[in-house]
Amino acid sequence: MSNFIENFHIIKAIALPATNHKGTRVKLFSQRFKQSVTIPATYGTKDAAIAWLKSNGHKVIGQDCTHPDYDLFICEGENFSFKPLKEVKE
């Protein structure tokens, strides 16, 4: 029996409600890289987060949407390398 356990990049997504000056947004947190980004959420928290992550090179392979205040997305790295949230396409 192997003791090998796969490593993943977990991204936490929290919905931010609209204000007088900004529309609905999603804040994505990466504990691995100790950073966050805020993105517009024109079509729902979960869909906006997944679309942004995929379009910026994150391989989303799973999710945990059981918590009422946030969603967790599981991203797989290639050869144990994970992409920081702040490393986005220009």
* 6-20 per-position pLDDT tens digit: 788 999 999 999 999
Residue-level pLDDT at 39: 94
CA distance 84 to 49: 15
Residue-level pLDDT at 90: 43
3-state secondary structure of 8: coil
Q: Give strand pairing partners of 71.
A: 13
Query: Residue 81 has what DSSP assignment?
Result: B
* Positions of the chain with pLDDT lower than 70, given as ranges: 1-2, 79-80, 88-90
Prediction pTM value: 0.84
Cα angle 13, 17, 21; round to 5: 125
Residue that has been written with the tokens 């391989």 in this structure: 59
